[in-house]
Amino acid sequence: MSERLIVVSSDCHAGLRIADYKPYVESKYHEMLDMAVPIQMEMMQKAEQSFLIKEINDAWRAPIERELTGAWDYKERLKMLEGDGIAAEIVFPDGITEMNTPPFGAGLGLSPRNGVAELQWAGAMAHNRWLAEFCANNPARHIGVASIPLLWDVQQAVDAVRWCVDNGLTSVMIPTLWEEHAPYHDRKYDPFWQVCEDLGVIIHFHSGPAPHPEYFGGNWPEEDRSAELPGAMGIYVSEVMWWLYRPLTFMIWGGVFERYPKLKAVLTEGGTVFMLPPWLRLLDHNYHDVQFSAKLGDFRSHLSLSPSEYFARNVAVGASCVPRRDIELRSVIGVDKLMWGSDFPHPEGTWPNTADYFKETFSGLPEEDGRKILGDNAVAWYGLDRAALQAVADDIGPEASIFH
């Protein structure tokens, strides 16, 4: 019998309930935290009603309440990983699903909108302290993605990256939206790209952030204007992936990957094959077919590669809950780019039905390709300890028969 499969989830989430972050927040912010928690909880509950259809989410959650505490409880976490056959996981901050986002807007959205720099940094570092402690239970299996509010202060971000590496965290998430702050083609961010390249820190963008006031109204979620703004959710879900790709558009054209050729980035939960190729074709069209833009002058001579070549070299895709129709198109962006993710503990993820998902989605797929998507690509991209993970997989991993 062949070795069981090493499965790595490129998209899992973890975090404490907001108030429970208090021991990890610097004491000088405790009074502000006590004031902020009930307000943030109220806003999250109102957002849940818009985004999750509360009744549906409650019905999904009811029979698995205890298992969902794996979002912060380590023993339950291990049970979840075993049930899913996951040897290792990339662990992002969480959001509104379990009301366990970091305080002061330092969670999955990490938006500067209505934010206070000092407080958002305080919330981010509180989460990073907890995350480092959480992942230290087994660093080979838990790869934590630290929250870095880069936009406010580049030097503070550089210092935070060094702290993260010293504490076992070598992946970071930075804001997808920059609002009134400098975009990512601004050279002011070069010290941040430099420290990430030097220390082998991987940059992540996770889907979800978008200009919500444009869709739902300026006072959302406090004010429900759905009757006046029909189709808001349809507009959001149609545009949200565009906002995920936008930072890389700036970084590629801005020469970030030209100046820092070993810098790695990941797009997570981002539309994968059916959206990425048209975006890459657009970028390459503007790079190669210069006759259509010659009147605009030279905007490409600072690049030695085409946009799609930078993407192929410097970017990977966290393909959460990837459907079979995307897997069938794996050669379009390269089978080596796709890294499966379960999206635990979110209701749109594969958990708690991951075993059935594997059989339904990967049946008939060439084993070599399936192994890459389910784990081998992530092992290579993140530099994981293959021997340690194989030892785990031999106990809990799915068998290769899922491909037959």
The pLDDT tens digits for 209-218 are: 999 999 999 8
Round to whole Å and give the CA distance between 207 and 176: 8
Q: What is the pLDDT of residues 121-130, one digit of tens each?
A: 999 999 999 9
- Find, among 200, 114, 194, the residue nearest to 154 by Cα: 194
Q: What share of the chain is helix, strand, coil (3-state, %, to 5)?
A: 55, 10, 35
Q: Which residues contact 331 (CB under 8 A, 6 or more apart)?
A: none
Domains delineated in the chain: 8-403 (3.20.20.140)
Structure tokens at 23: 């021991």
Please give the model's pTM, rounded to 2 decimal places: 0.95
Stretches in the chain below the pLDDT threshold 70: 1-2, 50-53, 96-97
Amino acid at 284: D
Can you count the helices (H) and strands (E) in the chain?
18, 8
Collapsing DSSP to helix, strand or coil, 103 comes out as: coil
Could you give the CA distance from residue 272 to residue 353 in angstroms, rounded to a whole number? 22
Q: Where are the alpha helices (DSSP H) in 105-203?
A: 117-135, 154-166, 190-199
What is the Cα–Cα distance from 182 to 150, expressed in whole angstroms? 10
**Percent of the chain whose predicted confidence (pLDDT) is above 70:** 97
Compute the distance between CA of residue 117 and CA of residue 109 in angstroms, rounded to an integer. 15
* Euclidean distance between CA atoms 128 and 183, whole angstroms: 24
